[in-house]
Structure 1
Amino acid sequence: MHGHQIIELTVNQQPFVIEAKATVAALLTAWSGEPDGQLKVAVALNQQVLPRKKWSTQQLQHQDELLIFNLVAGG
């Protein structure tokens, strides 16, 4: 029996830990407390904008840097 491995990364320049092999979608849910489908945000992973369709497949790596931006509704 062994514990889950965790990785350390940064979210909006703050330290954050999550289980290894977590996806961006899982991180967004953990970070916000909301299901990722309800979040009106954009995500950049290591300075690259990550399309929403990749959130559920993109696995996070140790020391990744994420930036989460609120999208302002309206025009």
Structure 2
Amino acid sequence: MITTTTVEWAPGRTVTLRHLRGHRSPAVLLAHGAGVDQDHPLQVAVRDAIAAAGFPVVTFNYPYKEEGRGRPDRADVLLDV
């Protein structure tokens, strides 16, 4: 089961997290690459495979994808998220 949560990471700026529970550790934080988002078929396949192996996994969209922009944010913004 996927849990979706919206998190405010800076005033007025949010990102969407998707979390799949697992019984093993550590949890895996899976970031998407430039040009795709957390719902891209490859990202979903990797996420689901990690979860099927029993690991909790969290995916998220970087702000530029969340806000519908095509160009990635500066590195400091990406790291802040």
TM-score scaled by structure 2? Answer: 0.31
More helix by share: 2
